[in-house]
Amino acid sequence: MGVEKPAPVSAFVVVSGLPASGKSTLARGLAGRLGLPLIEKDAILESLYNSLGIGGHAWRSEAV
């Protein structure tokens, strides 16, 4: 009977806060130090806007 290795633990960190409070700066630093990928909401919205025409400021204002 062999010893089983435990499954790797997946981790993620969510950074939240007020506009212009340094969230992106903090998130980039954390991602680098922790070796985690950085997923930025602004980059996702920009890609949606560029490819589908949705996700821009006007679209977000209407969606709420």
* Dihedral sign computed on CA atoms, order 32, 18, 61, 63: positive
In a domain, 59, yes or no: yes
In a domain, 58, yes or no: yes
Q: Give the span between the Cα atoms of 37 and 30, in whole angstroms.
A: 10
The total of structural domains in the chain comes to 1
When mean pLDDT is compared across 35-39, 40-44, 50-54, 58-62, the lowest value belongs to 58-62
Give the domain range for residue 43. 39-63
Contacts of residue 34, defined as CB under 8 A and 6 or more positions apart, other chains included, come to 11, 13
In a domain, 54, yes or no: yes
Q: Which of 52, 19, 24 is nearest to 39 (CA)?
A: 24
In a domain, 52, yes or no: yes
Q: Which of 49, 27, 25, 50 is nearest to 38 (CA)?
A: 27
pLDDT for 13 equals: 92
In a domain, 56, yes or no: yes
In a domain, 26, yes or no: no
pLDDT per residue over 3-49, tens digit each?
787 777 688 899 999 999 999 999 999 999 999 999 998 888 888 88
In a domain, 2, yes or no: no
